[in-house]
Amino acid sequence: MYMQNLILIRNIVVFSTLLLFPLSSSAVKSDASQPISIDADSVIFNKSAGTAVYQGNVSIKQGTLKIHAARIEINAPNNKIVNIIATGNPLTVEQRMDSGKLAKGRAKQMRYLVDKKRLILSGNALLSQGSDQFSSNYIEFSTLTGALKAGNKKNNKSRVHAVFHPTNKAK
User: Which of 45-54, 56-65, 147-156 has the largest mean confidence?
Assistant: 45-54
Q: How confident is the model at residue 168 (pLDDT cuts 50, 70, 90)?
A: low
Integer Cα distance of 48 and 44 in angstroms: 12
Task: List, in sequence order, every residue forming a beta bridge with 124; answer none if it has no partner.
Answer: none
**pLDDT confidence of residue 91:** 92
Inside any domain, residue 98: yes
How many domains, the chain? 1
Query: In terms of Cα–Cα distance, which of 127, 128, 146, 125 is closest to 136?
Result: 125
On whether the CB atoms of residues 145 and 131 are closer than 8 A, the answer is no
pLDDT tens readout for residues 8-33:
555 544 444 444 444 445 556 777 77
Whether pLDDT at 113 is above 90: no
Single pTM value for the model: 0.72
**pLDDT confidence of residue 107:** 94
Integer Cα distance of 51 and 8 in angstroms: 9
Inside any domain, residue 170: no
Percent of the chain residues past pLDDT 90, beyond the cut: 22
Integer Cα distance of 47 and 66 in angstroms: 26
Inside any domain, residue 169: no
Inside any domain, residue 83: yes
Q: Looking at 66-70, 72-76, 159-163, 165-169, which range is the least confident one?
A: 165-169
Task: Name the helix (H) or strand (E) containing 17.
Answer: helix 2-19
pLDDT tens readout for residues 70-91:
999 988 898 888 888 999 998 9
Inside any domain, residue 60: yes
**pLDDT confidence of residue 87:** 95
| Domain range for 125 | 2-163
Average pLDDT over residues 55-61: 91
Task: List, in sequence order, every residue forming a beta bridge with 64; answer none if it has no partner.
Answer: none
Q: What is the CATH number of the domain that holds 58?
A: 2.60.450.10
Inside any domain, residue 171: no
Residue 103 per-residue DSSP state: E
Q: Looking at 9-13, 46-50, 117-121, which range is the least confident one?
A: 9-13
Inside any domain, residue 168: no
Greater model confidence, 63 or 18: 63
